[in-house]
Structure 1
């Protein structure tokens, strides 16, 4: 399991060397087999492997191959409806395609058209192998430290990684625990795991908890609920020791009831489980706070005072209040500047005085917001917190703010960030790859799905110029005792997001755009797969720009309910050569685990020659069916949102660090610190970025 994690996070493995001398045939066999998966091994790793005994080598070999196959989807058996795709589909007439589909549907997925599979010409595409390097246990253990030290929310797969580390290393993990955990959700998760494995005593946890909301998250986590608190939790019955712990943690907090009001309903339900009345003498403040909640006594909270001041456009009083909570001040800065016609200088002056108390993640987002504040866009996009990757949009009706004022906000944020980063260790000579402008800073990965390469929503991946065809694919397994129909679809739009064509189960091919679908399979008792080929030049030539790929659950099963469901894409120069699924041509693969019926993993921009990583879900679907035709409006909104993303890039972030604690250089081989897409710190090193650079 440890090398599974190390491969996913760093493209590395660590191996304990031996004193044996393996025959070369072992190494040659290993290299040949993983080359077919698109990988090879670094020289220093090969030197270590060569010292293993045959038994140890065999164990390493099977673990490595299993991990690589799982990462790229090569552990599945792909049997599309048309075995000679894409040439076969493009050569068939509409009548034959239609009649085959009807026969399949009427048999409830049990009958498939029978075609003999032709011998396929060997793969003509030249592929660049991905190198697996030699790692060490010290670096591997720091993956745990980085995830615990995260400044922003982490994904479900990262939470499972933390769980594995604590379960596997037990008490030894204490050496890698920080004294302070910044991310509130991590406080709850790590505390729960430490308690479950009896690694920490209850008293040792007290240093991590400061507010009543921290305690609520722990109670939610102990009940396997949503620690983002975006949804309500059904609390379990707590053991007496757990009840005393929660009450004791609450008692040490200040302003308990004021914080409780935000999640009043959840606190009342929690109170019914932990019975604060039984311990009213030992924890009097906690008991009093629960009584205030239950009796519906009015509490004038900090937020209510601020809202009242803003309602009456009293910016001076609002600023006076917000100085107490600089983070909230930063988040409301736009509103304050909009309602103030004469006091902008006062607002900026007060904000500047407290900006150094604002977290770097908030400052980065405020800086990016005001850099693009007066850039006119039709819509404003919001990504609500929670475990589902959703996006909401509203018409952009915000009035402009004076550009000089916007520039002053940017200057304040930039200055404070540089001062914060100057406190860190020097970076020496720094090389920053300009291509990092295409990658977004990872502010929230809470709802991110597991993927071969972890990428942040809105980031843009350059397509190789030689890539003539994008072949997307899905594979899924049926939900238990229930026929499951998952559909892969592609919709093409022009540069203004006007619809021009689609490829789906309702329309298997387009001669104009040289696009085709491998056939709609509606049942997957043993697993099923679908493919779509898209000829990039044809779409470009006939006025297309954006292609939205989507995964739709026609059978109304939530995608998270399936035993297995993933989507990926390959780039092919010669699409009729090689097998339909060729592991070495897979560019990325994403596990689809959305708690919805519709997932939009990527958008292809054929003009800029980039893949836009979306990893988003649509939460609503037509009442009559779930398909491309019915989901146009939602897809266009998501498309517009993701192609007009005003978020700070990794280039911006790393440039601030270089300004604060390094010296820029333009020769990568002369750099002490490298930020690039394939060397040094890369966009795929999310744990390092959210721990050390935010």
Structure 2
């Protein structure tokens, strides 16, 4: 059975308890009070439901709810700060280093003390290992002592309040989540793929999705079916079966990393070979995909023993191709050969048999085609659009919207969110060609969006970048897709990182790169520089056996930079995808608000950090001409060095990357809302206090209270379901 806390975290809906009924009103009040302390509140319907449960059952439910939301905002772990009075009382960097050196070199009872100037000479004139100084990098106080040193948080009307709603039974909520994830038209992130795998086990005997559009999602579901001896579903390429084998072996379903296949039971081998046989029997051209992954296919063949199953002769052909005993050229290979020998039109003709590959190659075909051939290529692409997924069409629409002028830097991102930049030296496309492509994409997408009679939209959702892939985001709370720009309210911005090492000592360093209006270096704050005007660093923690937190505080009207780019550098130890836990988040406060360095109700967002690079760039903050600050999600990682990464070492690449991402024109939810409005004829903009009497289709960041029964709601966790299929 799926853990209810997972369902609450993903949907902000609380499954109904199976416990007995009784008088749980007291527990309901206690739960609501506890939720308020971490920035949440229960809806009226949820409170009334908890009040009808027997006190023991109500308490069990309340524990699940509170545990889930505390984990969401990062309040499930203690967040100690190196300097106990942070953000006050943080010394000058060199002053602190001198004190650490003094404590290390001078015994407590010694009468003679070296001058500060002598110690500065030691620090600057030779190599001093700060990590070996007793006071450096290690908490000098407990978390409880930190809390005792700070006043209680002063409440503010701007503190975050997130509403939790009542859902169905655990099984109903699990089925709802399963169908939503499995039927997603966009790829899921790593965390959601794991949730999907767990839900597929739970819901194996229940309702199944009619279609599973994304191949990675399909492989996760099929791995569960294979283990149960059930036929694979929605398999139409041989690579689909290879993904299943990788998923079932605990490997990489995206096929980027090498997977060590496990041994398979006879019934599992039979299921996979039957699926391979059916795919190839329908079209032997499907064998063209085998050569791309010949190595994994050969290793898999040694475990499946296809020769033991003569009733699957077409499956045996797959492994013959992998071993090189049979030659089959892939369609992409044939298209590339045609492009090199006969030009763009011939390549487009070959790609007509693979519409998705054709439209992905459209930019290259158009910029390399002769003027007389452009219309032929556009006509071929237009006829192929109807067979291409809406996600790909939206991605293409965003791409061509940015082709009118050269990018300041081309940003490339892998599915693992590893990024790099390059100069934009592509040939220019004529504006009329760009207009023609975007127009035909608009018409195709408009034809696909559904018609909703009563559409209600929260304006806050309009600037959210279209969630075209879960790979362009991270798991967490209130996390939004890469390119999304949101307003930052409050006088003080405080961001934080927390990590807990698994096996070896691990040192992460929270830093902030400050840039001017032209994205030129304007300063930084890190363990090498504790502060500058309006910006304060909480102190360097160099190990995290029990977890460690670092903060940076920014008084927004004092900082002189136009852009602030937080980053987390791995100085030594385990990577972001190796540690037990790692996260990044930010809080906003009023100038006079007190409280501990970490206060859950002031947390605006918290995201995991699980990328493969050695420098994390979760978000950037920018100030406009009116002094208003905004946050732009990045979700990117730089490769960095194996060890000793510092903000000074990557400031150039970070600045170029930040500029390329900030100046890009992202396709946002307003694009889809405009299309939905055109279909519906009108749209109502949500505002607090709006009275609705009939069921509506609501689109927003969070579900408001008071929506009529029967309303369909698309919030953060379901916005991807609005992407046309």
What TM-score does the superposition give when structure 2 sets the normalisation length? 0.86
Give the Cα separation in 1 of the matches to 2:269 and 2:621. 52
Q: 1:256 to 1:347 in 2, by over 3 A?
A: closer
Query: Does the 8 Å CA contact 1:549/1:600 hold for their aligned counterparts?
Result: yes
Q: Which structure 1 residue ranges, 5 or more long, are not aligned? A: none
Query: Does the 8 Å CA contact 2:478/2:716 hold for their aligned counterparts?
Result: no
The equivalent of 2:48 in structure 1 is: 47
Matches within 5 A, 1:584-595: 584-595=601-612
Give the Cα separation in 2 of the matches to 1:624 and 1:225. 27
Decide which of 465, 481, 487 is 1:462's aligned counterpart. 487
Query: Does the 8 Å CA contact 2:570/2:643 hold for their aligned counterparts?
Result: no
Give the Cα separation in 1 of the matches to 2:649 and 2:715. 35
Q: Is the partner of 1:560 in helix, strand or coil?
A: coil
Query: Does the 8 Å CA contact 2:84/2:141 hold for their aligned counterparts?
Result: no
Query: Does the 8 Å CA contact 2:484/2:632 hold for their aligned counterparts?
Result: yes
Q: Which structure 2 residue ranges, 5 or more long, are not aligned? A: 105-129, 705-711
The superposition leaves residues 330-373 of structure 1 with CA deviations (integer Å, 9 ceiling, x where unpaired) of 11111121122212222222222222112111111222222221
The equivalent of 1:582 in structure 2 is: 599
Q: Is the partner of 1:182 in helix, strand or coil?
A: coil
Query: Does the 8 Å CA contact 1:508/1:517 hold for their aligned counterparts?
Result: yes
The equivalent of 1:88 in structure 2 is: 89
Decide which of 183, 186, 189 is 2:214's aligned counterpart. 183
Q: 1:556 to 1:251 in 2, by over 3 A?
A: same
Q: Is the partner of 2:89 in helix, strand or coil?
A: helix
Give 1:470 deviation, angstroms.
0.9
Give the Cα separation in 1 of the matches to 2:714 and 2:409. 28
Given the alignment of the two structures, is residue 288 of structure 1 paired with residue 314 of structure 2, yes or no? no
Aligned pair count? 667
The equivalent of 2:540 in structure 1 is: 520
Given the alignment of the two structures, is residue 651 of structure 1 paired with residue 670 of structure 2, yes or no? yes
Give 1:129 deviation, angstroms.
2.0
Q: 1:227 to 1:100 in 2, by over 3 A?
A: farther
Give 1:13 deviation, angstroms.
0.9
Given the alignment of the two structures, is residue 157 of structure 1 paired with residue 202 of structure 2, yes or no? no
Given the alignment of the two structures, is residue 133 of structure 1 paired with residue 165 of structure 2, yes or no? yes
The superposition leaves residues 424-467 of structure 1 with CA deviations (integer Å, 9 ceiling, x where unpaired) of 4x310334445434211112213743211231111112112xx1
Given the alignment of the two structures, is residue 499 of structure 1 paired with residue 521 of structure 2, yes or no? yes
Decide which of 434, 441, 465 is 1:406's aligned counterpart. 434
Given the alignment of the two structures, is residue 238 of structure 1 paired with residue 227 of structure 2, yes or no? no
Q: Is the partner of 1:492 in helix, strand or coil?
A: strand
Query: Does the 8 Å CA contact 1:189/1:221 hold for their aligned counterparts?
Result: yes
The equivalent of 2:453 in structure 1 is: 428
Give the Cα separation in 2 of the matches to 1:376 and 1:106. 50
Given the alignment of the two structures, is residue 397 of structure 1 paired with residue 425 of structure 2, yes or no? yes
The equivalent of 1:69 in structure 2 is: 70
Query: Does the 8 Å CA contact 1:505/1:517 hold for their aligned counterparts?
Result: yes
Q: Is the partner of 2:454 in helix, strand or coil?
A: strand
Q: Is the partner of 1:577 in helix, strand or coil?
A: coil
Give the Cα separation in 2 of the matches to 1:61 and 1:208. 40
Q: Is the partner of 1:77 in helix, strand or coil?
A: coil
Q: 1:626 to 1:257 in 2, by over 3 A?
A: same
The equivalent of 1:531 in structure 2 is: 551
The equivalent of 2:153 in structure 1 is: 123
Give 1:687 deviation, angstroms.
3.7
The equivalent of 1:354 in structure 2 is: 384
Given the alignment of the two structures, is residue 478 of structure 1 paired with residue 501 of structure 2, yes or no? yes
CA-atom RMSD in angstroms: 2.6
The superposition leaves residues 473-518 of structure 1 with CA deviations (integer Å, 9 ceiling, x where unpaired) of 12222332x22212111111112211111111111111xx221111
Q: Is the partner of 1:473 in helix, strand or coil?
A: strand
Give the Cα separation in 2 of the matches to 1:594 and 1:44. 39
What TM-score does the superposition give when structure 1 sets the normalisation length? 0.90
Q: Is the partner of 1:626 in helix, strand or coil?
A: coil
Give the Cα separation in 1 of the matches to 2:713 and 2:368. 41
Q: Is the partner of 2:471 in helix, strand or coil?
A: coil
The equivalent of 2:111 in structure 1 is: none
Give 1:292 deviation, angstroms.
3.4
Give the Cα separation in 2 of the matches to 1:370 and 1:535. 39
Decide which of 209, 230, 234 is 1:208's aligned counterpart. 234
Q: 1:639 to 1:296 in 2, by over 3 A?
A: farther
Q: Is the partner of 2:721 in helix, strand or coil?
A: helix
Give the Cα separation in 1 of the matches to 2:443 and 2:28. 54
Give the Cα separation in 1 of the matches to 2:439 and 2:677. 17
The equivalent of 2:124 in structure 1 is: none
Query: Does the 8 Å CA contact 2:703/2:715 hold for their aligned counterparts?
Result: no
The equivalent of 1:339 in structure 2 is: 368
Give the Cα separation in 1 of the matches to 2:715 and 2:621. 20
The equivalent of 1:489 in structure 2 is: 511
| Structure 1 range deviating more: 295-304 or 599-608 | 295-304
